[in-house]
Amino acid sequence: MSLATADFTFLRELVANHSGQSLAARHAAVLEQRLTSVAGSVGLPNVASLVQRLRCSDDADLSAQVAEAVAVHETSFFRDASVFATIADRVLPQIIAKNSDRKQLRIWCAACSCGQEAYSMAMLIRDHFADLDDWDIRITASDLSQTMIRRAERGTYSALETTRGLPPQKRIRHFDRRGTAWRAKPELRERIQFHRINLLRPWPYLGPFDLVLLRNVLLYFNSPTKQNILKRLRGAMRPDGYLFIGAAETLIGLCVPYQRKEIDDTVHYRPAAI
């Protein structure tokens, strides 16, 4: 069955209020497909019945489950390799030099999905900066979805997932084989702290961060939501920190306290004076 217009409108508003994600009419079929399993998980025959329950109850958990089912979780290891090359060759050396007295490094992978970006950062640090063993290094990784956070905490990936962006030598160096899957070694898992964070809501203070990766998530928000998130994010960053967003994203047209910079054609942003 096709999703009724009124039901789609209701679900679009529910998702926008919970996660900030904007759904267009062309997403109706995909929305229905993803929510069919949610309906089945709570004993309902179809999405129309799911909408009816949501309309007639104040079930915050079910509303969150719906919003999280719609969220896009596409990711891979070392996604956009040029960004990680710039971070390894130019950004982290500068941060390390500035932090040499306090020997501390803070990184936030926001909207981390099932964790590949955070583990990529942990691998990068171990491979390129082995002399930081006596530093206090913390990688914070967060996502809207509790399901994704649980997956990320386990650090276990299928053979197919590890072939996406992860060279064979890195897989052997940083992962242990578990049957047909691969699990990140303890030294990687121990370096990452995972949190369930909804970027639309107030989040706990976890910084200040030297480097923030907020990639491929802003494109799902409208302009006011983007501005709200980015302004609050500025307060969680060091004044000389670095922000990377997705290659298809831009801050043009937004009133936010950042300055656009380039390193070897890789765009990043630095906090501006407030």
Q: What is the pLDDT of residue 25?
A: 79
Domains of the chain, start order: 5-70 (1.10.155), 81-271 (3.40.50.150)
Cα 55 to the chain's mean position, in Å?
30
Mean pLDDT of the chain: 90
Tokens of 37: 């399993």
Residue 7's pLDDT band (boundaries 50, 70, 90)?
confident
230 pLDDT more than 60: yes
Instruction: Using a pLDDT cut of 90, give the percent of the chain over it.
Output: 62
pLDDT digit string (tens) for 76-113? 999 999 999 999 999 999 999 999 999 999 999 998 99
d(CA 53, CA 47): 10
Global pTM reads: 0.82
pLDDT digit string (tens) for 51-78? 888 888 878 788 877 777 777 666 899 9
Q: What is the pLDDT of residue 41?
A: 85
> In degrees, to the nearest 5, what angle opens at C-alpha 20 toward C-alphas 233 and 54?
140
1 pLDDT more than 50: no
Q: What is the pLDDT of residue 122?
A: 97
